[in-house]
Structure 1
Amino acid sequence: MNHLKATQLRGIAATGKIQKFNDGGGLYLHVTPKGSASWRIEYAVAGERRSKSFGKFPEVSLVEARASRDRLKSDIAGGIDPDPMVSAQEPAASAPSALLFGELVTEYLAILRKTEPAVRTIAKNEWLLLKLAAPLHGLPVASLRASDILPILQQVAASGRRESAVRLRGVIGTVFNHAIRNDLAERNPADALKGVLPKVEVEGRAAITDEPEFAVLLRAIDSYDEPTLRHALQFSALVYGRPVETRTMRKGEIDFANSLWNVPRTTMKMRRDHVVPLPRQAIEVLKRQFEIAPGDIVFPQRRKQDRPISENALNVALDRLGYGSGIHTAHGFRSSASTILNERGWRYDVIEASLAHVDPNAVRRAYNRAAYLKERAEMAQAWADLCDEFRKAGKRRREMESLI
């Protein structure tokens, strides 16, 4: 059955991604992200899957492409191999316009940019796919094998970038999975390379999750001598946002009337706006900090107050308090709160929403954003009150120890 019409073909245009328009009998029009179109057919001879190009469109019309398809089908039905030079090992090598890996990369990156992940995530994927995987760009997807990918991974690993080699294998696999989902590939050659490279030991972000020890940490923070860093650490413990969100905070993000922190998407890891309910104690910390911050930046540098505190300033402060060497990091406040709140019976979904972890289900994600705000506000205040209890308990424990 013929599916395509001449009027439909005239309306085809570049969309920035690969398009496939089926006409039936294995014949389809392949359109690259830049709009170049060619006729292709997928067929089988003695159980062997093959593909063939019939030429560019519109140089080759729909009528001519169908005639070529019919001749090929007739040859196969009559026991004639239409292309005996094609081998089982390289079924797509004879097709000059076969889909190339570089085309898949272009489409994948275009889709990635539209999903609005962090800028660093996009840059990392571009570096991996456009630079490190560049030798694969000219290879047809249908003939690309694990043996083509492995030397590239080994070369990257040999240069001392073992973690990058592992990530490269993963992102190449992601591109192929995208192709499989869109009927552009049948297999993922990167899967065969799982475990081939040595594992990279990734050091986790240290965090104190024991309640009595966390109480000691809170009291130590309260004693820190520099007010801006003291306030930033206190706020981090109470609200447990990502360090970059806290240190780059601007005064306009704070809604004192409704006790909310409106974190802009430009700061968020997944480029989505995030609303944080602020407990009473966090509001008090911010008001004290607003009094000493002369400009719009809430936590400015001491000497350059038009700039936020540096990326490592909070970790340096924690180190001065005796929490260096992998004991607790600025990012660790998130793990502390998550662990303790889970252990105390708060709902997992609400905790995840407070951490701005993105639910993969779009409908549930939209629902949770609105439905959990009231619950998150209650949990935020309960967490801040619990931190006060920790401080008092820690103080009583130290007083008792001094009497022994």
Structure 2
Amino acid sequence: RYRLNKKIQSIKIGKYPTTTLSSAREKANIFNNMLAEKIDPKEQIQKEDIQKSKTLKEVFNEWSQVFYKNNTSYNLSKRLKTHIISKYEDKHINELAKNDILLILDKLYVEGKLETIKRVFLGLKKMLMYAINKEYIENSNILTLDMKALYGSPKKQNLRAITKEERFKELLLAIENYNGNIFTKVALQISPYLFLRSANIRNLEWSEIDFKNLKIIIPANKMKGGEDFIVPLSESVIKLFEFIKPFSFHNSKYVFPSDISKSKTMSE
């Protein structure tokens, strides 16, 4: 215990026998020298811990490698990177506070993106638990945030399927007559032929298309099942990929890149 600025503070030197008596005396001398210079030992240790700790980006990159191998969901990690890591990548992980996270999640709530909130926070929890187990942080009060209490539960909507032939013809005709973004049009044109979610189509990479053997091979780290997913392709779909190839093959790894940045995928 020590007194500084009329306040009594306490600081742990260590536990015996892990910390020897000579080591404890040495630390006590260091702390006394700090107090003589009006430096708070507790604050100084916290500053040093921050300097030694990893940044959010470093922890995310490390965790991602393990996460992809164990493979829970490719998009979980991607959403976390987009909404949290990109904003605070240089912040030390032990400095990350509830308010930092709530600023992001509140914005998503205003935009009506409740499902995104759920996914982003799930990814964040997994990364923080990884950091705790690696002893990069002792704990995080961010883990006590209750998404249901803060934002409620997202309402599930069952989208009506098109079952009538005439309606399906109308849909295909509407896609054919669409004169907007070329990537959007081709993505819509191929979707009826592929057994893929819209996210898998948007995240499709050129390296995953086997033109010679007429198939798409989506790697295990993008699939919930943890196995490569193979989709056979018809000649008509191959022709659509060949058509769009000049627009993105040489400047993006993605088949359907974003208009804003070729290093990102087309948005939903």
Q: TM-score, normalised by structure 1?
A: 0.35
> Which protein has greater RCO, CA pairs closer than 8 Å, 6+ apart?
2
**Which of the two has greater helix per residue?**
2
Q: TM-score, normalised by structure 2?
A: 0.48
From the CA coordinates, give the structure whose radius of gyration is larger: 1
